[in-house]
Amino acid sequence: MGDVSPIPDVVAHRGASSARAEHTRGAYELALQQGADAVECDVRISRDGRLVCVHDRRVDRTSTGRGAVSGLTVAEMASLDFASWHDPARTELGVLTLDELLGMLRDGGHGTRLFVETKHPARYRGLVEHRLAELLARHGLAAPRVRAEAPVLMMSFAEAAVRRFKLAAPRVPTVLLLSRISRARRGGVLPEWADLAGPDVRLLRADPGFAARVAALGRDTYCWTVDEPADVELCRRSGVRYVATNRPEATRSHLDDPGLARFGSVAE
């Protein structure tokens, strides 16, 4: 594809997670300051039935505590520090709830969209999708008048999860995340309950025409996780609609002017 491809929207993956600890208030505040078009989060259900922004099944990697998310209440996680593992100079107590993140975006997001990934397998199985639909309804986000402008999109690697959520909130756009492209998906065909394709950037490297085939069938592509300049450029040239990145500021700079962006090392 040529240079006339539209510039993709930049989605801050778990917030500005290269600079701040993932899924923390600080990471999302920084992403908003850096002008991300959207932010992304993973959600799980705590023992007291609340949706919390945690990627792993356990809190061990990203906090000072131990244990499965499903075995801890939000109150029990309130004393855990979720930031110092990434930066010893920063402290951020308490798990970020999805309800709180939605409030942050409402109050200071200026139209920033949210991509919510439900994690599976999970102890409570399909409850996470039902709770997500209920929470979006409470915030007035479950029935957008124009689906293409919906403030929240749901996504998952689990096909059953995407189907289940689509039944619960049919107006909210859904993304089927892909760690591989099966023969059934290779032509860009998606099931009716999936509105967008969500390939790993490694799949796009191997098959740069995938996004164009998806677009030819009237669907958009969300590509993850795109941190290298060459991959950002690949997404732009391939017609990817949404680019999920740990480095929203550098990714935006590259998309606006490829000659000015400064990415540095991924290990930084």
Asked about 55 being catalytic, the answer comes back as yes
26 phi and psi angles, rounded to 5 deg: -60, -40
Tokens of 29: 């505040």
**Spatial distance between the Cα atoms of 198 and 32, rounded to a whole number of angstroms:** 23
21 phi and psi angles, rounded to 5 deg: -60, 135
3-state SS, residue 155: strand
**Spatial distance between the Cα atoms of 173 and 218, rounded to a whole number of angstroms:** 14
**20 close to 7: Cβ distance less than 8 angstroms:** no
Which tens digit of pLDDT belongs to each residue from 167-187? 999 999 999 999 999 887 999
Q: Which of 23, 55, 86, 139 is catalytic?
A: 55
Find the distance separating the first CA and the last CA of the chain, reported in whole Å.
Answer: 32
pLDDT (mean) for 201-218: 97
pLDDT (mean) for 4-32: 95
Q: pLDDT at position 21, please?
A: 98
Asked about 13 being catalytic, the answer comes back as yes
Sign of the C-alpha dihedral, residues 18, 38, 99, 110?
positive
pLDDT (mean) for 213-218: 97
Inform me whether the pLDDT recorded for 266 exceeds 80: no
Q: pLDDT at position 262, please?
A: 58
3-state SS, residue 251: helix
Closest to 175 (Cα-Cα) out of 152, 204, 143: 152
Which tens digit of pLDDT belongs to each residue from 42-91? 999 999 999 999 999 999 999 999 999 999 999 999 999 999 999 999 99
Q: pLDDT at position 263, please?
A: 63
**Spatial distance between the Cα atoms of 268 and 257, rounded to a whole number of angstroms:** 22
pLDDT (mean) for 94-123: 94
Q: How many residues does the chain have?
A: 268
**Spatial distance between the Cα atoms of 112 and 32, rounded to a whole number of angstroms:** 8
3-state SS, residue 145: coil
DSSP string, 91-120: --BSPPBHHHHHHHHHHH-TT-EEEEEEPS
Closest to 209 (Cα-Cα) out of 192, 231, 187, 179: 187
**Spatial distance between the Cα atoms of 105 and 140, rounded to a whole number of angstroms:** 13
- Under DSSP, the state recorded for 2 is -
Tokens of 84: 């110092």
